[in-house]
Amino acid sequence: GENVEQHPSTLSVQEGDSAVIKCTYSDSASNYFPWYKQELGKGPQLIIDIRSNVGEKKDQRIAVTLNKTAKHFSLHITETQPEDSAVYFCAASIRGFGNEKLTFGTGTRLTIIP
Amino acid sequence: EPEVTQTPSHQVTQMGQEVILRCVPISNHLYFYWYRQILGQKVEFLVSFYNNEISEKSEIFDDQFSVERPDGSNFTLKIRSTKLEDSAMYFCASSVSSWTGDLFGQGTRLTVV
């Protein structure tokens, strides 16, 4: 089955700097890669996703890049703000064939230092 | 903005008791999921549900677990005889299609004592 690894497990950055979180996946059939933000005591919140036919996607300060050959994808947050502090999870899934489950990475605790 | 609603937010139960966790997915969504997260760990898939039947289940989802969509709006997870190791946060999620994002509820914290 799919295995998703995520690094780093913790990340501290100065407010205003950029943060990068990286994930690798094992199943080359995976074709959908969402990123979730989880604040304390809350459910995962979808922040951005990318399909395998796209190499990069951007939404304001957040961007995701995908390298299918290397089987890795990354989340980039620019101009970080204190409210970006949370745990971020990457996930991978095979979509469109009836097998829709998400396999999550182990999470990155991002702390923005004011 | 529509959201996935889960009740209760916290449930404490005695080992061996049955529990039912309830979810109201977003109304036009067609794919439904249950996930769980043991404290401090990653989110794990339990079961997916589409077209009124289970489409996939994980090894965790054994005979003690069952899901139902009894009335077209609620989506429930039942654990027949809870064990201590079932203590976790349980999340319901739904999506309108394969290619749209899965939206998660706020979760039910289940504590088995």
Considering only residues A100 and B56, tell me which one the structure prediction assigns the higher pLDDT. Answer: B56
What tokens does A71 get?
A: 């089987």
pLDDT in tens, A64-93: 999 999 999 999 999 999 999 999 999 999
Tokens 């005591």, located at residue? A41
Distance CA B1, CA B10 (A): 24
Question: Helix-strand-coil percent breakdown of chain A, rounded to 5?
Answer: 5, 55, 45
Q: Is the pLDDT of residue A98 over 80?
A: no
Residue-level pLDDT at A90: 98
d(CA B22, CA A35) in angstroms, rounded, equals 25
In the prediction, which pLDDT does A99 show?
Answer: 65
Give the residue from B3, B43, B97 with the most A CB atoms within 10 Å of its CB, the best one to mutate. B43
Average pLDDT over residues B102-113: 96
> What is the tens place of the pLDDT at every residue in B20-56?
999 999 998 999 999 999 998 899 999 999 988 999 9
Quick one: which of A100, A99, A74 has its CA closest to A88? A74
Contact B104 A45 (CB under 8 A): yes
Using the Cβ of A14 and the Cβ atoms of chain B, whether some distance falls under 8 Å is answered with no
Instruction: With beta carbons less than 8 A apart as the criterion, state whether A70 and A90 touch.
Output: no
Beta carbons of A100 and B35 less than 8 Å apart: no
Q: What percent of chain B has pLDDT over 90?
A: 81
Give the mean pLDDT of B65-73.
90
| Minimum distance, in Å, between the CA of residue B77 and any CA atom of chain A | 17
* Cβ contact, residue pair B98, A100, below 8 Å: yes
Between residues B50 and A8, the one the model is more confident about: A8
Rounded to whole angstroms, how far apart are CA atoms A101 and A93? Answer: 6
Average pLDDT, chain A: 95
**Mean per-residue pLDDT for A31-60?**
94
* pLDDT band, residue B2 (cuts 50/70/90): confident
Nearest to A44 by CA among A93, A87, A80: A87
Report the share of chain A in percent with pLDDT over 90. Answer: 90
Q: Which residues of A68-78 are buried (b: 16+ CB within 10 A; e: fewer)?
A: eeebbbbbbbe
